[in-house]
A and B are shown apart, each in its own frame.
Chain A
Amino acid sequence: DAGITQSPRHKVTETGTPVTLRCHQTENHRYMYWYRQDPGHGLRLIHYSYGVKDTDKGEVSDGYSVSRSKTEDFLLTLESATSSQTSVYFCAISESWTSSSTDTQYFGPGTRLTVL
């Protein structure tokens, strides 16, 4: 999985508790992304980062926050988990676009989160 790890891989938590998911890369890529995948919705972008301390919202950012204090780590936090946030979460990375590269993304193995 292109030097991308996610932790934990599985988590069960209760409504109202905070949850942090971690994405770690060894590729030194500039861009990092958090998606959620739900049946019937494909992948939806939650937040992304274009550099250390530089982040922006995606399509479904409500209820989520992110932080990136180092190039290799991108954290996704659910401040107060709700049942609607039960999903599979994927991290992805991509290089900076250049005339000879593309915005191809490389994905981690995913984290299955269940909020009871």
Chain B
Amino acid sequence: SQQGEEDPQALSIQEGENATMNCSYKTSINNLQWYRQNSGRGLVHLILIRSNEREKHSGRLRVTLDTSKKSSSLLITASRAADTASYFCATSARQGAQKLVFGQGTRLTINP
């Protein structure tokens, strides 16, 4: 069964606007990761947040984690056409588990 559920399933915004995607999960986690997938390509790791962290930044990406609500959000600021892709959250259940469970993804379209 899927651990992560992403919301919305699809998002379309204008270039320059901010994009926010949400991920909810069901069981306790060690860390949560976000990946990007461009059309026809493999997934690329974006950012990881550990269960004892609440917020993390990387360039134009900001990730938050609320373990009490079992949810995470990915914010992309000042979006660009190149950000058009699908975004997936993935959870790791415990330290050293070496297995990730992926959500179904959010399809983000940036309109010029």
Known: A41-B104, A48-B99. A104 touches B42 (CB 8 A): no
Chain B proximity of A1: nearest CB distance (Å): 6
List chain B residues, Cβ under 8 A from A59: 1
User: Would you give the 0/1 interface string for B86-112, flagging 1 where the beta carbon is closer than 8 Å to chain A?
Assistant: 001010100111111111110000000
Contact-residue bracket for chain B: 20 to 34
B85 proximal to A (CB < 8 A):
no
Nearest A residue to B44 via CB reads A107
Contact status A104-B98, CB under 8 Å: no
Q: For residue A43, which residues in chain B have a CB less than 8 angstroms away from its CB?
A: 43, 88, 102
Closest residue on chain A to residue B41 by CB atoms:
A109
Interfacial chain A residues near B96, Cβ < 8 Å:
97, 103
Q: Are A42 and B104 in contact (CB under 8 A)?
A: yes
Taking the complex as formed, is B2 at the interface, i.e. its CB lies under 8 A from any CB of chain A? yes
Number of A-B contacts defined by CB within 8 Å: 63
Q: Report yes or no: A109 in contact with B42, Cβ–Cβ below 8 A.
A: yes
Asked if A90 is at the interface of the complex by the 8 Å CB criterion, the answer is yes
Whether the pair A45, B99 counts as a contact (CB closer than 8 A) is yes
Q: Check: A105 CB closer than 8 A to any chain B CB.
A: yes
Q: How many residues of A contact B (CB 8 A)?
A: 28
Query: Hey, which bits of chain B sit against chain A, CB under 8 A?
Result: 1-2, 4, 31, 33, 40-45, 48, 88, 90, 92, 95-105
Q: What are the 10 closest A-B residue pairs judged by CB atoms, nearest first?
A: A107-B42, A42-B104, A97-B96, A43-B102, A107-B43, A42-B102, A104-B45, A103-B98, A109-B42, A103-B92
Q: B-contacting residues of A (Cβ < 8 Å)?
A: 1, 4, 31, 35, 40-45, 48, 50, 58-59, 90, 92, 94, 96-97, 102-110
17 A-B residue pairs with Cβ-Cβ distance under 8 Å, sorted by A, are A42-B2, A42-B88, A42-B105, A43-B88, A45-B99, A58-B99, A59-B1, A90-B43, A96-B98, A97-B95, A103-B97, A104-B48, A105-B43, A105-B100, A109-B42, A110-B41, A110-B42
